[in-house]
Structure 1
Amino acid sequence: MKMNSNAMATILIVDDVAENLAVAHDALDGAGYRVRVATSGLAALESARLQPPDLILLDAMMPGVDGFETCRRFKADLATRPIPIVFMTGLTDTDHVVRGFQAGGIDYITKPIRPQEVIARIASHLRNARLVAETQAASDAAGDAIVSIDDVGRVSWATPLARSWLAGVCGVDHRLPEALLRWLAIGEGASPNFSLQGNGQRLAFSKLGERRLLVQRHEAVPEPDALMRLLPLTAREAEVLYWVALGKTNPEIAGVLEMSPRTVNKHLEHIFTKLGVETRTAAATVALNRSRLGVVPN
């Protein structure tokens, strides 16, 4: 009798050996899963793209495109990247286990497979995947712009809004810009926000966790030469205000402009006086408001 709790979960088994397919198929079918099979890496890629499964059980060693390369191709495609992949291998050598994880697998089982172990591991990974999917669905419904990244800086998932905003920022491999990745790598010492600017918009990133970011879109900050034309600032003051508006701290501005943090602070004091404000946020707001009202020459 099939277990109703597994009735909606689809498992794709990928193996070039018919006997292995039969053993895994019978075990999972008996546990109530919907089961599909593929006998090569290329067939698995085509099957998953047409109709993504909930989990993939993937043989590591196959002729042609092996399991490691198949997994890498799954993870290179944003549509199939979230699918959990569990490797099946007769090789317990550490090198092959590491290769599986590096390719993007979340677990591995050794052959000959033990049906009860396979069923238990798959059930655990599916529970975790469902929790992630539910959280992502809630973010989608709320209309938030949230992005998750993997350990090499690629977008592993993004809400529709974040995906549209990042379309012109990420490369063809969905990797985030190096400057943003360096900011993430700094950890606790980094600014609370990081901005990317271009095409008349500014994307501000803030951390929601180790690998999850909230994205907010703002108007682009005028370049320093435009700020000089709009506001009564010197060239250096305009440069400092520009970086302040992008969310940089004094030490960060000092590094960019090759001056001491104390000098940055002196410039800020002059900026506050000239603009009639008392805080960094207020100064940045004046710069943005003035750019809306004034005409910034090209």
Structure 2
Amino acid sequence: MNEPLPDRSESAVVLIVDDVPDNLSVLHDALDEAGYTVLVATNGDSALQRAVQAQPDVVLLDAVMPGMDGFEVARRLKAHPVTAPIPIIFMTGLTETEHVVAAFAAGGVDYVTKPIRAQEVLARISVHMRGARERLHQKQQATQARNALDAFGHATMAIRLDDATGAVRAVWQTPLARQLMHDYFAAPPAQIPPPVLDWLRAESSAAGDGREPRPLSVNRQTEAGTRQLVFALQQRTGDDDLLIVMREVSDAAVVEAMVQAFKLTLREAEVLYWVAKGKTNRDIGDILGSSTATVKKHLERVYVKLGVETRTAAANLVMGRLRQLNLGVAA
């Protein structure tokens, strides 16, 4: 029984590279009958040209050919950004371990030995094409998500951690993310500032430790008051990069959230905000242009609405609710 082929809406393309006409004929007929679109090349130069032009789904590559051999063809395919993702299945009569190792080292994902058995080749193609298409689908989903984030103005970036070298870099950023990184750190594109880098390295292993990653908060002062940038570590992308979402919080945004969350008046929320920041009634009066007695009256009404009796209890309650809302009170 034939190996079932992957589900596809249009004919998949296979490039066969072999300098022996009989091999080409056998494989061409079997693949054509199975529903593939088949391209052929009889030497390394034409194989490279065809692969770039057609971008086939799979390459069946003869290891031993005059001139440029299959190992060199594979290395060049993998070095070209257009053809690098294409699975390469070697066809070879060389079965010594060193030749098999050379095939994988050159970028091959599999090999079949000569004489070629068409059904075995079909089975190998089916497996590797399915894997290639799943990887392509993941990349497409990641790209679509990235485009959606850009379109809706989210501050998001993907970070790549190289476990071997320890290198860290931003592989993509939405426009808003680039702007925020510049505003808070004067950071050029792709550069990760030290505070973010330290946080990333500490929190990237959180899932393996069985805990939720902790957010990072960075403050900056503006003429309009304190603004806060909160970094949250999300799931990994289809490329296994770390996805970070940034949210900027201002004093005004926090106060408005407190109005909504606790059914306070604007002035009551302002008083509670400064209480949560550790200010005394006298300090709050100076900030808001009110007397200490007026601040005290506002605070008494806040206690009733929150169901607490002390400023410490009020501050703890508001801090907990703001954390639930992914907001914070800048220090």
Identify the match of residue 133 of structure 1 among 122, 136, 141: 136
Superposed CA RMSD in Å reads: 3.8
Aligned to 1:281: 216
Question: How far apart, in 2, do the equivalents of 1:5 and 1:98 lie?
Answer: 32
3-state SS in 2 of match to 1:112: coil
Give the AA of the match of 1:246.
L
Aligned to 1:24: 27
Question: How far apart, in 2, do the equivalents of 1:26 and 1:127 lie?
Answer: 22
> Displacement of 1:81 after TM fit?
0.8
> Displacement of 1:47 after TM fit?
0.7
Question: How far apart, in 2, do the equivalents of 1:122 and 1:204 lie?
Answer: 32
Identify the match of residue 247 of structure 1 among 198, 204, 219: 198
Question: How far apart, in 2, do the equivalents of 1:67 and 1:204 lie?
Answer: 33
> Displacement of 1:243 after TM fit?
2.7
Question: How far apart, in 2, do the equivalents of 1:84 and 1:139 lie?
Answer: 21
Question: How far apart, in 1, do the equivalents of 2:112 and 2:79 lie?
Answer: 23
CA offsets per residue over residues 62-99 of structure 1, 9 Å max, x none?
11111111111111111111111100000001111111
Cα pair distance change 1:290/1:127, threshold 3 Å: same
Aligned to 1:185: 164
Cα pair distance change 1:91/1:195, threshold 3 Å: closer
TM-score by length of 2: 0.49
Aligned to 2:37: 34
> Displacement of 1:185 after TM fit?
2.9
Cα pair distance change 1:291/1:10, threshold 3 Å: farther
> Displacement of 1:135 after TM fit?
1.6
Question: How far apart, in 1, do the equivalents of 2:201 and 2:52 lie?
Answer: 48
Aligned to 1:219: 181
Cα pair distance change 1:292/1:136, threshold 3 Å: farther
CA offsets per residue over residues 216-238 of structure 1, 9 Å max, x none?
75625748xxxxxxxxxxxxxxx
> Displacement of 1:246 after TM fit?
3.1
Cα pair distance change 1:250/1:115, threshold 3 Å: closer
Alignment of 1:200-239 (within 5 A): 203=170, 217=178, 219-220=181-182, 222=185
For the 8 Å contact 2:6–2:129, the answer to whether it is kept is: no
For the 8 Å contact 2:60–2:89, the answer to whether it is kept is: yes
3-state SS in 1 of match to 2:26: helix
Q: Could you list the runs of 5+ residues in structure 2 that have no partner in the other structure?
A: 149-156, 187-192, 203-213, 225-331
> Displacement of 1:104 after TM fit?
0.9
Q: Could you list the runs of 5+ residues in structure 1 that have no partner in the other structure?
A: 146-164, 167-175, 197-202, 206-215, 224-241, 252-278, 294-298
Which structure would you say has the larger Rg?
2
Give the AA of the match of 1:85.
I
3-state SS in 1 of match to 2:164: helix
Question: How far apart, in 1, do the equivalents of 2:139 and 2:73 lie?
Answer: 26
Question: How far apart, in 1, do the equivalents of 2:131 and 2:21 lie?
Answer: 30
Question: How far apart, in 2, do the equivalents of 1:45 and 1:292 lie?
Answer: 60
Give the AA of the match of 2:194.
W
Cα pair distance change 1:80/1:281, threshold 3 Å: same
Cα pair distance change 1:88/1:250, threshold 3 Å: closer
Aligned to 1:74: 77
Question: How far apart, in 1, do the equivalents of 2:38 and 2:19 lie?
Answer: 16
Question: How far apart, in 1, do the equivalents of 2:107 and 2:201 lie?
Answer: 39
Question: How far apart, in 1, do the equivalents of 2:200 and 2:125 lie?
Answer: 46
3-state SS in 2 of match to 1:13: strand
> Displacement of 1:124 after TM fit?
1.4
Give the AA of the match of 1:10.
V
Aligned to 2:146: 143
Alignment of 1:102-117 (within 5 A): 102-117=105-120
CA offsets per residue over residues 119-147 of structure 1, 9 Å max, x none?
111111111122222222111211269xx
For the 8 Å contact 1:222–1:291, the answer to whether it is kept is: no
Cα pair distance change 1:291/1:243, threshold 3 Å: farther
For the 8 Å contact 2:78–2:84, the answer to whether it is kept is: yes
Aligned to 2:68: 65
